[in-house]
Structure 1
Amino acid sequence: MRNRGFTLIEIVVIIVILGILAVIALPKFINLQDDANQVAMRTMKGAIASADKLIALKISLNPDMLNNDQTLFTLDNGQNIRVKGQLADGRWDITFLHLLDFNDIAMITSNNCDNTSLKWCVRQRSANWFLGRGYATLGTGRGFVIFPFNKNVNEDRCYIYFLNQNDSEIPVTVQPSIIGSDFSEC
């Protein structure tokens, strides 16, 4: 019986086939990071929406936990958080930082999330930022945006956002919070 190896033509055909498979499959694997970021951001968005609803419910059930100006609400652990319109205030550092336990996230003051020690960045935004992107219709309130490392909050539409639309602690008409996402440039 004669042992025969592969011919040069057979090896070239196999290499070409593997090359075609790599060209087709590689972009799918490269894009997994963006897909993972979107899943994580959807999870964060759900947690933010739940925290917002939970605080509104707690305030309605325990209005005595509000201070006289209705600007602060005392949580069960004694921590005070800011509120507007008896809803969670749109500032990350004095409200949601105390409500949520997100890992690898930090508040920044620039538009670039480029600190290699961070996976996620939070940037506080005025209502005008939300108005300019069509996410809100009122010119009041404040909010924040969470976006992944290596993105720019003003240039890349790859983030989740929260906006408390109320401009005073006791508004005549309470406007609901806006919680959304934009993954069009992830």
Structure 2
Amino acid sequence: MKRQGGFTLIELVVVIVILGILAVTAAPRFLNLQDDARNASLEGLKGAMAGATGIVYGRAAIDGVETIDGGSISGASGDTITTTWGYPEASENGIGKSVVGLSDGSDWAVVSGSDATKYSIRYTFADSKETDKCYVQYAISSAQGSEPKLTVIECE
């Protein structure tokens, strides 16, 4: 009679346990899900800003202030949104009031030292200590007729 070779049940269980321990300790190093989630949030903010600029420009055109540098319109919640050539100004009174959630400071914050003029402003996570590493920049040209430029600097 031939003797069959193979693994015993205890050997298989030991191998499975070792693989489980390796997976629990090594997988988080390879799968950095927090950065992926933060980058997706930044892209979402960029999309919200892009949508808000179109809506504000449409409202400014209806009000006849799309050709004024330093105009303003009334927002949906009654806030006054300052505009530059019809687009939201790059400030907390412009794009900050145009996008829901930017002005309350609960989720997003202005990057300190981001040269928050009426032509450029950066937003990052309110709880982030590394504000210069990942953010969304909203920049508008000082020349009439050009759309705002939205740039995402992703988290590493």
State the TM-score, normalized to the length of structure 2.
0.72
Map of 2:97 onto structure 1: 98
Map of 2:141 onto structure 1: 165
Map of 2:131 onto structure 1: 153
Q: Structure 2 unaligned segments of length 5 or more: list them.
A: 1-7
8 Å contact from structure 2 (residues 96, 102) kept in 1: no
Q: Please report the RMSD computed on the Cα atoms of aligned residues, expressed in angstroms.
A: 3.2
- Displacement of 1:10 in angstroms is 5.2
1:55-77 Cα deviation digits (max 9, x unpaired) = 1111112216x8x8753223355
Letter of the structure 2 residue corresponding to residue 13 of structure 1: V
Letter of the structure 1 residue corresponding to residue 82 of structure 2: R
Counterparts of 1:67-82 in structure 2 under 5 Å?
70-75=70-75, 77-82=77-82
The answer to which structure, 1 or 2, has the higher relative contact order (CA under 8 A, 6+ apart) is 1
Looking at structure 2, the residues matched to 105 and 79 of structure 1 have their Cα atoms a distance apart, in angstroms, of: 13
1:23-79 Cα deviation digits (max 9, x unpaired) = 4423355x2222222222211111111101111111112216x8x875322335543
SS at match of 2:120: strand
Counterparts of 1:58-69 in structure 2 under 5 Å?
58-63=59-64
8 Å contact from structure 2 (residues 108, 124) kept in 1: yes
Looking at structure 1, the residues matched to 69 and 148 of structure 2 have their Cα atoms a distance apart, in angstroms, of: 20
SS at match of 1:71: strand
SS at match of 1:126: coil
Letter of the structure 2 residue corresponding to residue 99 of structure 1: S
Map of 1:143 onto structure 2: 120
Distance of aligned partners of 1:73 and 1:25 in 2 relative to their CA distance in 1, 3 Å threshold: same
- Displacement of 1:81 in angstroms is 1.4
- Displacement of 1:98 in angstroms is 2.4
Q: Structure 1 unaligned segments of length 5 or more: list them.
A: 107-117, 128-139
Distance of aligned partners of 1:181 and 1:105 in 2 relative to their CA distance in 1, 3 Å threshold: farther
Segments of 4+ moved more than 6 angstroms: none
SS at match of 1:15: helix
Larger radius of gyration: 2
Counterparts of 1:12-51 in structure 2 under 5 Å?
12-27=14-29, 31-51=32-52
Looking at structure 1, the residues matched to 18 and 140 of structure 2 have their Cα atoms a distance apart, in angstroms, of: 56
Letter of the structure 2 residue corresponding to residue 98 of structure 1: K
Map of 1:174 onto structure 2: 145
State the TM-score, normalized to the length of structure 1.
0.62
Looking at structure 1, the residues matched to 49 and 71 of structure 2 have their Cα atoms a distance apart, in angstroms, of: 20
8 Å contact from structure 2 (residues 52, 98) kept in 1: yes
Equivalent pairs counted in the alignment come to 146
- Displacement of 1:90 in angstroms is 0.2
